[in-house]
A and B are shown apart, each in its own frame.
Chain A
Protein backbone atom coordinates (compact mmCIF):
# COMPACT_ATOMS: atom_id res chain seq x y z
CA UNK A 1 0.00 0.00 0.00
CA UNK A 2 1.05 3.61 -0.46
CA UNK A 3 3.00 4.70 2.57
CA UNK A 4 5.27 7.48 3.81
CA UNK A 5 7.45 6.58 6.80
CA UNK A 6 9.30 9.36 8.57
CA UNK A 7 12.41 9.30 10.73
CA UNK A 8 12.27 9.40 14.51
CA UNK A 9 11.96 12.22 17.01
CA UNK A 10 14.78 14.73 17.37
CA UNK A 11 15.92 17.02 20.17
CA UNK A 12 18.13 19.90 19.11
CA UNK A 13 19.71 22.95 20.70
CA UNK A 14 18.97 26.46 19.42
CA UNK A 15 21.15 27.28 16.43
CA UNK A 16 21.55 23.66 15.36
CA UNK A 17 20.16 21.98 12.24
CA UNK A 18 17.80 19.05 11.81
CA UNK A 19 17.24 16.77 8.83
CA UNK A 20 14.02 14.75 8.67
CA UNK A 21 13.56 11.90 6.21
CA UNK A 22 10.42 10.59 4.57
CA UNK A 23 10.64 7.20 2.83
CA UNK A 24 7.99 6.45 0.23
CA UNK A 25 6.74 3.05 -0.82
CA UNK A 26 3.89 1.56 -2.82
CA UNK A 27 3.97 4.04 -5.71
CA UNK A 28 6.24 5.52 -8.37
CA UNK A 29 8.17 8.10 -6.36
CA UNK A 30 9.07 10.36 -9.28
CA UNK A 31 5.46 10.72 -10.42
CA UNK A 32 4.53 12.88 -7.44
CA UNK A 33 5.77 15.74 -5.34
CA UNK A 34 6.35 15.91 -1.59
CA UNK A 35 5.15 18.71 0.63
CA UNK A 36 6.29 19.38 4.17
CA UNK A 37 3.84 20.71 6.76
CA UNK A 38 4.50 21.43 10.41
CA UNK A 39 2.31 21.83 13.46
CA UNK A 40 3.49 23.57 16.60
CA UNK A 41 2.06 22.28 19.90
CA UNK A 42 -1.64 23.11 20.12
CA UNK A 43 -1.51 25.06 16.86
CA UNK A 44 -2.73 24.64 13.29
CA UNK A 45 -1.04 23.39 10.16
CA UNK A 46 1.69 25.41 8.47
CA UNK A 47 2.84 24.64 4.94
CA UNK A 48 6.63 24.72 4.65
CA UNK A 49 7.18 23.99 0.99
CA UNK A 50 7.12 21.49 -1.83
CA UNK A 51 9.59 19.54 -3.93
CA UNK A 52 9.04 17.74 -7.20
CA UNK A 53 10.43 14.23 -6.97
CA UNK A 54 10.58 14.24 -10.77
CA UNK A 55 13.06 17.10 -11.30
CA UNK A 56 13.89 18.45 -7.83
CA UNK A 57 12.17 21.80 -8.34
CA UNK A 58 11.29 23.42 -5.03
CA UNK A 59 8.98 26.08 -3.68
CA UNK A 60 9.42 27.26 -0.09
CA UNK A 61 7.25 29.29 2.26
CA UNK A 62 8.55 32.84 2.41
CA UNK A 63 9.09 32.85 6.16
CA UNK A 64 11.44 29.85 5.91
CA UNK A 65 13.41 30.98 2.85
CA UNK A 66 17.13 30.70 3.56
CA UNK A 67 16.70 28.27 6.48
CA UNK A 68 15.02 25.29 4.80
CA UNK A 69 16.21 22.92 2.11
CA UNK A 70 14.15 20.09 0.64
CA UNK A 71 15.79 17.32 -1.36
CA UNK A 72 14.99 13.89 -2.70
CA UNK A 73 16.97 10.72 -3.33
CA UNK A 74 15.22 8.88 -6.14
CA UNK A 75 17.44 5.81 -5.70
CA UNK A 76 15.88 5.18 -2.29
CA UNK A 77 12.52 6.95 -2.82
CA UNK A 78 13.26 9.21 0.12
CA UNK A 79 12.58 12.89 0.64
CA UNK A 80 14.47 15.05 3.11
CA UNK A 81 13.76 18.33 4.83
CA UNK A 82 16.62 20.19 6.51
CA UNK A 83 15.94 23.18 8.75
CA UNK A 84 18.88 25.26 9.95
CA UNK A 85 19.44 27.86 12.68
CA UNK A 86 16.76 26.27 14.81
CA UNK A 87 14.81 28.39 17.28
CA UNK A 88 12.45 27.43 20.06
CA UNK A 89 9.46 28.28 17.88
CA UNK A 90 10.55 25.61 15.40
CA UNK A 91 9.44 23.04 17.98
CA UNK A 92 6.69 21.15 16.16
CA UNK A 93 5.56 17.93 14.58
CA UNK A 94 6.81 17.83 11.00
CA UNK A 95 4.81 15.95 8.39
CA UNK A 96 5.63 14.96 4.84
CA UNK A 97 2.76 14.45 2.40
CA UNK A 98 2.56 13.10 -1.13
CA UNK A 99 1.34 15.69 -3.59
CA UNK A 100 -0.80 14.49 -6.48
CA UNK A 101 -1.81 16.92 -9.22
CA UNK A 102 -5.49 16.12 -8.82
CA UNK A 103 -5.75 15.21 -5.17
CA UNK A 104 -3.31 17.58 -3.53
CA UNK A 105 -1.71 16.22 -0.35
CA UNK A 106 -3.34 12.81 -0.39
CA UNK A 107 -1.05 10.58 1.69
CA UNK A 108 0.69 11.73 4.86
CA UNK A 109 3.58 10.46 6.90
CA UNK A 110 3.14 9.71 10.59
CA UNK A 111 4.93 12.87 11.68
CA UNK A 112 8.30 13.57 13.31
CA UNK A 113 8.52 15.53 16.55
CA UNK A 114 11.34 18.06 16.61
CA UNK A 115 12.03 19.72 19.95
CA UNK A 116 14.33 22.73 20.13
CA UNK A 117 15.50 23.38 23.66
CA UNK A 118 18.63 24.51 25.41
Chain B
Protein backbone atom coordinates (compact mmCIF):
# COMPACT_ATOMS: atom_id res chain seq x y z
CA UNK B 1 0.00 0.00 0.00
CA UNK B 2 1.54 3.29 -1.15
CA UNK B 3 1.66 6.40 1.02
CA UNK B 4 0.38 8.52 -1.88
CA UNK B 5 -2.84 7.40 -3.55
CA UNK B 6 -3.29 7.41 -7.32
CA UNK B 7 -5.97 5.82 -9.48
CA UNK B 8 -4.56 2.61 -10.99
CA UNK B 9 -5.69 3.52 -14.48
CA UNK B 10 -6.77 6.38 -16.70
CA UNK B 11 -7.60 6.64 -20.37
CA UNK B 12 -8.38 9.09 -23.12
CA UNK B 13 -8.56 9.47 -26.86
CA UNK B 14 -6.04 11.39 -28.95
CA UNK B 15 -6.43 15.13 -28.51
CA UNK B 16 -8.31 14.83 -25.23
CA UNK B 17 -7.27 16.25 -21.87
CA UNK B 18 -6.78 13.81 -19.01
CA UNK B 19 -5.93 14.38 -15.38
CA UNK B 20 -4.31 12.04 -12.87
CA UNK B 21 -4.79 12.69 -9.18
CA UNK B 22 -2.44 12.07 -6.28
CA UNK B 23 -3.69 12.21 -2.71
CA UNK B 24 -1.48 12.43 0.35
CA UNK B 25 -1.41 13.95 3.80
CA UNK B 26 -0.14 16.95 5.71
CA UNK B 27 3.25 15.29 6.27
CA UNK B 28 4.01 14.79 2.59
CA UNK B 29 2.07 16.69 -0.10
CA UNK B 30 0.67 19.14 2.43
CA UNK B 31 4.12 20.41 3.39
CA UNK B 32 6.46 19.48 0.54
CA UNK B 33 6.82 19.74 -3.20
CA UNK B 34 5.26 17.19 -5.54
CA UNK B 35 7.13 15.54 -8.40
CA UNK B 36 5.76 13.57 -11.33
CA UNK B 37 7.54 10.87 -13.31
CA UNK B 38 6.67 9.20 -16.59
CA UNK B 39 7.74 5.63 -17.22
CA UNK B 40 7.38 4.35 -20.76
CA UNK B 41 7.18 0.57 -21.12
CA UNK B 42 10.50 -1.12 -20.44
CA UNK B 43 12.37 2.09 -19.67
CA UNK B 44 13.60 4.03 -16.66
CA UNK B 45 11.38 6.72 -15.14
CA UNK B 46 11.75 10.25 -16.47
CA UNK B 47 11.20 13.47 -14.52
CA UNK B 48 8.10 15.19 -15.87
CA UNK B 49 7.21 17.83 -13.27
CA UNK B 50 9.21 19.17 -10.33
CA UNK B 51 8.27 21.52 -7.50
CA UNK B 52 4.51 21.01 -8.07
CA UNK B 53 4.21 22.66 -11.47
CA UNK B 54 7.62 23.19 -13.08
CA UNK B 55 8.63 21.44 -16.29
CA UNK B 56 12.25 20.46 -16.97
CA UNK B 57 13.55 21.64 -20.31
CA UNK B 58 12.39 19.35 -23.07
CA UNK B 59 9.08 18.40 -21.48
CA UNK B 60 6.22 19.64 -23.68
CA UNK B 61 3.87 22.25 -22.23
CA UNK B 62 1.03 19.77 -22.79
CA UNK B 63 2.04 18.45 -19.37
CA UNK B 64 1.15 20.53 -16.32
CA UNK B 65 1.07 19.97 -12.59
CA UNK B 66 -0.86 21.53 -9.76
CA UNK B 67 -1.20 21.14 -6.03
CA UNK B 68 -3.85 22.12 -3.52
CA UNK B 69 -3.65 21.22 0.14
CA UNK B 70 -2.83 17.53 0.45
CA UNK B 71 -3.62 16.64 -3.16
CA UNK B 72 -1.93 17.13 -6.48
CA UNK B 73 -2.75 16.44 -10.08
CA UNK B 74 -1.08 15.98 -13.41
CA UNK B 75 -2.87 17.17 -16.52
CA UNK B 76 -2.04 16.11 -20.04
CA UNK B 77 -3.68 18.05 -22.83
CA UNK B 78 -3.71 17.20 -26.53
CA UNK B 79 -3.23 13.53 -25.67
CA UNK B 80 -0.94 11.62 -28.02
CA UNK B 81 -0.31 7.91 -28.50
CA UNK B 82 3.24 8.28 -27.19
CA UNK B 83 1.86 9.48 -23.84
CA UNK B 84 0.77 5.92 -23.09
CA UNK B 85 2.85 5.13 -20.01
CA UNK B 86 2.82 4.76 -16.24
CA UNK B 87 2.80 7.98 -14.24
CA UNK B 88 3.99 8.30 -10.65
CA UNK B 89 3.69 11.14 -8.17
CA UNK B 90 6.25 11.55 -5.39
CA UNK B 91 6.93 13.76 -2.41
CA UNK B 92 9.15 13.93 0.63
CA UNK B 93 7.64 12.76 3.89
CA UNK B 94 9.72 13.43 7.00
CA UNK B 95 13.02 13.07 5.08
CA UNK B 96 11.85 9.92 3.31
CA UNK B 97 10.72 9.91 -0.31
CA UNK B 98 7.32 8.39 -0.97
CA UNK B 99 5.73 7.43 -4.28
CA UNK B 100 2.20 6.92 -5.42
CA UNK B 101 1.27 3.47 -6.65
CA UNK B 102 1.31 4.66 -10.25
CA UNK B 103 -1.37 5.28 -12.87
CA UNK B 104 -1.36 3.40 -16.15
CA UNK B 105 -2.50 5.78 -18.89
CA UNK B 106 -4.03 4.17 -21.97
CA UNK B 107 -4.55 6.15 -25.17
CA UNK B 108 -7.58 4.62 -26.85
**Could you tell me which A residues sit within 8 Å of B by CB distance?**
35, 37, 44-47, 50, 59, 61-62, 95, 97, 102-111
Contact = CB atoms under 8 A, between A and B. Distances in A.
A51 B46 CA distance: 20
Given A44-B100, A44-B101, A45-B37, A108 B44 contact: yes
Nearest to A50: B97
Contacts of A103: 47, 50, 56
**How big is chain B's contact interface, by range?**
20 to 34
Highest count of chain A CB atoms <10 Å: which of B44, B51, B86, B98: B44
Interface string B12-41: 000000000000000000000101010100
Chain B's interface: helix, strand, loop or mixed, by majority?
Answer: strand
A62 B39 CA distance: 25
Contacts of B101: 44
Given A35-B97, A95-B44, A104 B102 contact: no
Nearest to A109: B44
A80 to B, nearest CB: 18
Contacts of A59: 95-96
A45 B45 contact: yes
A105 B47 contact: yes
* Pairs of residues from A and B, 3 with the lowest C-beta to C-beta distance, nearest first: A47-B97, A108-B44, A44-B102
Given A45-B90, A106-B50, 12 more contacts: A44-B86, A44-B99, A44-B100, A45-B45, A47-B90, A47-B96, A59-B95, A104-B33, A104-B47, A105-B90, A106-B56, A109-B44
